Amino acid sequence: MHGWVGKVLRVDLTEGAISETPTREYVPRFLGGRGLGARIYWEEVPPEVGAFDPENRLIFATGPLQGTTAPTSGRFMVMGKAPQTAPVESYCRSGVGGHWAPELKWAGYDALIIHGKARRPVYLFIHNGGAEILDATHLWGLDTYQAQRVIWSTHGTGTRVMVIGRAGENRSRIACILTDSGDASGQCGFGGVMGSKNLKAIAVHGTGYVRVARPKELMKVTNYCQNLFSRKAAHGDPLKPEEPGFKFNIWGGDERGGLTGAPGELWDLCMDPASGYTRVPDGCFACPIACRSRVRGPDIPSGVAFCVQSTMYLESMAYEPEKGYSKVTWYAAKLGDLYGINAYEMTGILPWLSDCFREGVLTEERTGLPLKEIGSKRFITQLLRMIAYREGFGDLLAEGCQRAAMELGGRAEELMERYYPRAGKFGGYREHWVYLGGFPTGYALPFLGLLWVLDNRDANVSHEVMSMLWGAARTIGQDPLSAVPDKLIPILRPVMKHAYGSEKAAEFFMPDGKGLNWEWAGRIVKRYHERGILKDSYIVCDVAFPYVFNANFKDHVGDTSIESRLYSAVTGEEMDEAESYERGDMLVTLERAIACRDGRTRADDRFRNIYYQATDAAGRRYKREELERAKGDYYRLRGWDIATGIPTRRRLEGLGLKDVADELERGGALPKEKGIKKG
């Protein structure tokens, strides 16, 4: 099997049993990664199983590209019932970069399925076609960095490690799983699932290889990608390209190896060769860009600087504005890594605590926290420890901000709602670009609103549309975080035509400029969902792909065929871009069926009231009735039932998912259709 090593590893921690399943049972039909995980979950986790129940499956899945030289193929997916989803636990997914995924393939396995609960703390060691369940009592209680070092002392520094910290051990719903490269399975709370299974770590070491069907073709596409994304670094500055004017195409612009983009104390120290602080570009396996930095200093924890892992505690910049992005800002994010706490969830908890304190909803006496000092090192040190150890008020916060606020009720719950957009039973995820520029001071865009209400976690985690919007903003000299979308439309017309089928897709607003134009929202989101699940199934980078916006071409039109070309070169299976969307359509529908089996319907695909009430920077707003019409358009394009948002039997059977339709019907969730016989 080209692109695969042929085996899925199964570990039953309750029985201490290890077995194998042929990968061929799932691929190529379900493609790999996210598609593979969704199928396994559908077959093995009934809806009554809770996230922390032993029978919940924790699925680690690679795709056909992992273990090859395909660009950005260092990624893998973690899937299972997510404890973070609120108020109802449901299936979700988390993507992880770094180097762990190819190592799993070289060790002889395409995926790993873990269920059950060990009697005592254990860790899993996978190596060259075998696996061992080993005692981890000496690792339990160690932070993530300490545990990694102990595992390396036993199995060698070439071993790749995923590990949980105190938050995971104590079954926090916002616990992450950290890799040795600093990447993490952050959203969903799967670190808590590992803790519930008494599983401290998964260590992998392999010396095998992955067969490629057409090596020359793979090399050709790889070189093509290298030319699109990279240039030789300028002498003396690895963050800049030697070629004048070349943009690295991260977020549609020219960032590479950036600390945070925020000036301040730590930036200045890293720029001073005599300071002892350094930042160097760092990337995942087979990455042509190296979009993040690895930062070191004599009195700070070392680690990766990228996105929210380095910007979790921006409150420190308000507390000590003269320092800007300071050592405290960095320390907070890395302390979260040591405890194994989801940094993105902290960006909801921190402003919510500040709001509650300012309005007198929470006091220092009630919380046991120095709330007057939000932004200080003392505050964040105490807060993160209380969450990780479930001490006092931290026990409530370890449930996640939405659950904590709902438990407190009243004004505390109201203040939470601005940070957690999706109403209904399947929320729990912090706001993530509901507006261009962020809520509430940015700009409402119709497809962003529709994306948010339909996803099963935080929308726009696949950065396709944001890279496009930000790239257009930089092209005309605007700051992406304050860009005016009206001015982006001329640049985006050819890009939207290529990516979504028509220049009209770039017409975000009504002709009078006062309202949102929802005509193309359903079609944009349909294609976005297909591309998102495809790249999570191949698997390639969330940021670099799909390559919609090219900052270096005059018309800025990217190349959305790269992923399917890589897949064909590696596997030998001919699948062009159009055919790939058909496969993506099936996988999106399968994930929706899982959600519907858990009880999700159209009624859960909605915003909280504040998102309908607030106006954006241009005086426009999301209107409930317009969003409802766009939802109907999307369901219709998918072939799902418009009244319920549930896939129909006709559609499921047309996609080869008859067994899915049968089970939905047995559970009473399948919508009735005229002319369709039962069973």
pLDDT at 68 over 90: yes
Looking at the chain, how many residues does it have? 679
Look up the CATH architecture of domain 247-416.
Orthogonal Bundle (1.10)
Residue 10 tokens, joined = 């199964």
Contact 71, 287 (CB under 8 A): yes
449-485 confidence digits (pLDDT tens): 999 999 999 998 888 999 999 999 999 999 888 999 9
**According to the model, what pLDDT value does residue 677 have?**
57
pLDDT at 348 over 50: yes
Q: 449: number of CA atoms within 13 Å, CB side?
A: 32
Tell me the three state secondary structure of residue 160: strand
260-285 confidence digits (pLDDT tens): 557 899 989 998 999 999 988 889 99
**According to the model, what pLDDT value does residue 310 have?**
82
Non-local CB neighbours of 365 within 8 Å, separated by 6+ positions: none
Looking at 2-11, 541-550, 623-632, which range is the least confident one?
541-550
Tell me the three state secondary structure of residue 317: helix
**According to the model, what pLDDT value does residue 309 have?**
78
Percent of the chain surpassing pLDDT 90: 88
Non-local CB neighbours of 271 within 8 Å, separated by 6+ positions: none
Residues of the chain with CATH 1.10.569.10: 247-416
29-65 confidence digits (pLDDT tens): 999 999 999 999 999 999 999 999 999 999 999 999 9
Mean per-residue pLDDT, 309-337: 94
Residues of the chain with CATH 3.60.9.10: 7-205
**According to the model, what pLDDT value does residue 304 have?**
87
Tell me the three state secondary structure of residue 111: strand
510-532 confidence digits (pLDDT tens): 999 999 999 999 999 999 999 99
Non-local CB neighbours of 300 within 8 Å, separated by 6+ positions: 266, 277, 327, 330, 331, 334
Mean per-residue pLDDT, 501-512: 96
Domain at 431-666, CATH from 1.10.599.10, 3.40.50.970, 2.130.10.10, 3.40.50.150: 1.10.599.10
Contact 430, 345 (CB under 8 A): yes
Non-local CB neighbours of 21 within 8 Å, separated by 6+ positions: 7, 8, 10, 113
Mean per-residue pLDDT, 195-212: 98
**According to the model, what pLDDT value does residue 440 have?**
86
pLDDT at 679 over 50: no
Give the class (CATH, top level) of 7-205. Answer: alpha beta
Q: What counts of helices (H) and strands (E) characterise the chain?
A: 26, 23
**According to the model, what pLDDT value does residue 259 have?**
60
Dist CA 664 CA 679 (whole Å): 11
Mean per-residue pLDDT, 124-147: 97
Strands 426-427 and 86-87: antiparallel
Mean pLDDT (the chain) is 95
Quote the pTM value: 0.97
Dist CA 333 CA 347 (whole Å): 11
**According to the model, what pLDDT value does residue 260 have?**
59
User: H-type helices in 435-463, by residue range?
Assistant: 446-454
Residue 254 tokens, joined = 């020219």
Q: How many C-beta atoms surround the C-beta of residue 33 within 10 A?
A: 33
**According to the model, what pLDDT value does residue 251 have?**
77
Residues of the chain with CATH 1.10.599.10: 431-666
Listed in order, strand segments (DSSP E) in 62-169 are: 76-82, 86-87, 90-96, 111-115, 122-127, 130-135, 160-163
Non-local CB neighbours of 646 within 8 Å, separated by 6+ positions: 592, 593, 596, 601, 602, 640, 664, 669, 670, 671
First CA to last CA distance, the chain: 35
Quote the DSSP letter at residue 94: E
229-265 confidence digits (pLDDT tens): 998 888 877 778 889 889 887 777 777 776 655 789 9
| Packed helices 577-597 and 658-666: angle between N→C axes, nearest 10 degrees | 20
Percent of the chain surpassing pLDDT 70: 99
Contact 387, 368 (CB under 8 A): no
User: Which CA distances in Å does 272 have to 157, 269, 304, 312?
Assistant: 31, 5, 19, 25
